[in-house]
Amino acid sequence: DILERHRRDPLQLLQILIELQARDGWLAPATLGALADALGMPRARVESTASFYSFLHTRPAGEYRILFSDNITDRMLGNQALMQALCDKLWLQPGKVSEDGLVSVATTSCTGMCDQGPALLANGRTVTRLTPERIDEIAHLIRRRVPVGDWPPEWFHVEDNIRCRDVLLDHGLAPGQALAAALERGATSILGEIERSALRGRGGAGFGSDIKWRSCRDAWGDAHYVICNADEGEPGTFKDRVLLASYFDLVVDGMCIAGMAIGANKGFIYLRGEYRYLLDRLETRLAQRREQGLLGRNILGRGFTFDIEIHLGAGAYICGEESALIESLEGKPGKPRIRPPFPVTNGYRGQPTTVNNVETLALAALIAVRGGEWFRAIGTPASTGTKLLSVSGDVARPGIYEFPFGVSVAEVLEAAGARDTQAVTSAGAAGHCLAADEFGRRIAFEDVATGGSIMVFDASRDMFEVARNFAHFFAHESCGFCTPCRVGTAVNARLLDKLAADHGSPYDLDEMAKMHRLMQGASHCGLGNTATIAIDDMLVKFRPAFERRLHSPDYEPAFDLDAALSQARRMTGRDDPGAHLGDNRGALAEE
């Protein structure tokens, strides 16, 4: 059934694997072999995809698979103690499967619930606002083997937490109204309005949407494609979750308008695996729109055909990078392509493809109704319109804030009820970290550029631990394709662990700085190039938090070298002072 539903199409490989795992609990070798035969693909190709994604298990992972969200904001809310408590109650170690094969408990990167954490995924379903009492109940339900689908429904409730609305979140348009306005204007006029609006991509890079759409429209191909990048994986970002949950028609209108503008009849929404809970709702709404003439053949009787398919991700941050996303959409491991060629000419199936952020598409729909000049009057000359910010951490009111570009960081902090703030990360783990004397700076591409993640740290927080959390995040999420990033992110995490274990010296900080320079210049894609930005800022602006961890003025290994020599001492029958390091280094040198 699963294969037939996916037309035995190798491009659907990732979707098929996700569904096979949902059916069986894991992807057994026999399953992968049979799948390779059925799709007529080399088994190695199937295995490489199955082993790339964090949410796919090629070994038994338990009837209940519990993944605690491990963003720094989850840590600040006590996720580690909660995870340990669950493990204690279930008699297992974090990262392991219980001996009876019933349950595994581990961590995963940010699940996009920073405004209502700590959170976890139970067999892929999101449980928010964890407390010690809820952990007790979860352990009880697992021990009684109650299916996750029968757990209390209120546990799975995800709030929008919209705190501040502007033109986007208060748009007041009916479903399809923006699309009707765009069809009335026509493709050329829409491209003109997008150009006049000076709309820039909201994922963080800020590329001009009109240039992207025009380049794609002008590229030769058998077919053109629109992809909505709903893989927001940046730690601390959850704005697209809210747009998909409560503003979906505007996003779909935006996708249809993009399709009309570039000459595409097909679009994809690449939905991050952590937002699996939204899938059925979104599929239902797409089906309703088809019945209402707002999607599919001959939309609104205007002769325009455009339809949308939703693909799920499976826990890979790198798939937020557009070429990695396209690889994933084609059923492959999400590794960034070598560019050029760019997706606008050689994207999905090698055809011209525009990849846009969820927020960008929603704004494009607004522009189709209200016009480019209207939009351009909001924000700053170089950063037009409004920006959705996901604010979390040490604030009284975590949630979604919509502000015109140009708002200062201090104004955002004030609105969110932040007190005694020492630091703000302005673009998740991959952007700059601002200290208190920079809070007068403005959110805008020309000043503080952001994809929308604003994490706030008050004076009680140890910025060293923030840096260590970010370093582990990148070490886990590096796709491993290029050496500077694969090795650099791992070394970075190990050096910070070494400082945490009281084995650090100034040498380690110097090594880290050297490694960062190398990674920023030589990594293949944005992940490696940006993985050190926030940590570099913290090293400079919060230096004492790192220097407090330095144990020795001289180089010291990360492990106890003297203890490691004990076997050699036993073999040689020596245990005199000269056979020891530490205080006896001098004696050893004399020998």
**Contact call for residue 190 and ligand SF4 (CB under 6 A):** no
**Contact call for residue 523 and ligand SF4 (CB under 6 A):** yes
- CB closer to ligand SF4, 345 vs 529: 529
**Contact call for residue 480 and ligand SF4 (CB under 6 A):** yes
Alpha helices in 219-351 (DSSP H): 239-246, 248-262, 279-291, 322-329
Cis before 118? omega within 30: yes
Q: How far is the CB of 433 from ligand SF4 (least distance, A)?
A: 20
Stretch that binds ligand SF4, among 247-255, 348-356, 475-483, 563-571 (CB under 6 A): 475-483
Q: How far is the CB of 531 from ligand SF4 (least distance, A)?
A: 8
Q: How far is the CB of 117 from ligand SF4 (least distance, A)?
A: 26
DSSP letters spanning 200-234:
B-TTTT--BHHHHHHHHHHS--S--EEEEEE---S
Q: How far is the CB of 465 from ligand SF4 (least distance, A)?
A: 24
**Contact call for residue 482 and ligand SF4 (CB under 6 A):** yes
Q: How far is the CB of 490 from ligand SF4 (least distance, A)?
A: 11
Binding to ligand SF4 (CB under 6 A) within 325-354 occurs at 336
Please state the φ and ψ torsions of residue 26, each to the nearest 5 degrees: -160, 175
d(CA 12, CA 243): 26
- CB closer to ligand SF4, 14 vs 456: 14
**Contact call for residue 391 and ligand SF4 (CB under 6 A):** no
How far is CA 220 from each of CA 188, 214, 215, 305, rounded to the nearest angstrom? 18, 12, 10, 19
**Contact call for residue 479 and ligand SF4 (CB under 6 A):** yes
How far is CA 392 from each of CA 127, 447, 455, 553, rounded to the nearest angstrom? 18, 21, 5, 37
Q: How far is the CB of 336 from ligand SF4 (least distance, A)?
A: 5
**Contact call for residue 252 and ligand SF4 (CB under 6 A):** no
What are the residues facing 66 on neighbouring strands?
105, 122
How far is CA 134 from each of CA 44, 70, 159, 294, rounded to the nearest angstrom? 42, 18, 18, 42
Please state the φ and ψ torsions of residue 378, each to the nearest 5 degrees: -100, 145
End-to-end CA distance of the chain: 74
Stretch that binds ligand SF4, among 71-79, 84-92, 369-377, 519-527 (CB under 6 A): 519-527
Q: How far is the CB of 553 from ligand SF4 (least distance, A)?
A: 34
Distance of CA 368 to the CA centre of its chain: 29
Answer for the pair 193, 371: CB distance below 8 angstroms, yes or no: yes
From candidates 524, 541, 549, 580, binder to ligand SF4 by CB under 6 A: 524
Q: How far is the CB of 475 from ligand SF4 (least distance, A)?
A: 10
Stretch that binds ligand SF4, among 165-173, 356-364, 367-375, 525-533 (CB under 6 A): 525-533
**Contact call for residue 533 and ligand SF4 (CB under 6 A):** no
- CB closer to ligand SF4, 52 vs 403: 52
Q: How far is the CB of 466 from ligand SF4 (least distance, A)?
A: 21
- CB closer to ligand SF4, 124 vs 484: 484
Q: How many residues bind ligand SF4 (CB under 6 A)?
A: 14
Q: HEC states along 139-186?
A: HHHHHCCCCHHHCCHHHHCCCCCEEECCCCCCCCCCCCHHHHHHHHHC
**Contact call for residue 527 and ligand SF4 (CB under 6 A):** yes
- CB closer to ligand SF4, 52 vs 155: 52
From candidates 481, 493, 509, 579, binder to ligand SF4 by CB under 6 A: 481
Q: How far is the CB of 286 from ligand SF4 (least distance, A)?
A: 31
Binding to ligand SF4 (CB under 6 A) within 300-319 occurs at 318
Tokens of 445: 């591409």
Answer for the pair 531, 474: CB distance below 8 angstroms, yes or no: yes
HSE-CB at 451 with a 13 A cutoff on CA atoms is: 24
Cis before 340? omega within 30: yes
Binding to ligand SF4 (CB under 6 A) within 18-77 occurs at none
- CB closer to ligand SF4, 383 vs 523: 523
**Contact call for residue 528 and ligand SF4 (CB under 6 A):** yes
- CB closer to ligand SF4, 82 vs 324: 324
Stretch that binds ligand SF4, among 29-37, 70-78, 355-363, 522-530 (CB under 6 A): 522-530
Q: How far is the CB of 229 from ligand SF4 (least distance, A)?
A: 16
Binding to ligand SF4 (CB under 6 A) within 432-461 occurs at none
How far is CA 327 from each of CA 49, 311, 322, 330, 430, rounded to the nearest angstrom? 10, 12, 9, 5, 22
Question: Residue 266 has what DSSP assignment?
Answer: E
d(CA 354, CA 209): 9
d(CA 407, CA 387): 10
Burial 446-467 (b: 16+ CB within 10 A, else e): ebbbbbbbbbbbeeebebbbbb
From candidates 478, 505, 530, 532, binder to ligand SF4 by CB under 6 A: 478
Own/partner contacts of 483-486, CB < 8 Å, gap of 24 or more, are: 484/518, 484/519, 484/522, 484/523, 484/528, 485/519, 485/523, 485/524, 485/525, 485/527, 485/528, 485/531
Stretch that binds ligand SF4, among 34-42, 184-192, 354-362, 476-484 (CB under 6 A): 476-484
| Residues making contact with ligand SF4 (CB under 6 A) | 318, 336, 478-482, 485-486, 523-525, 527-528
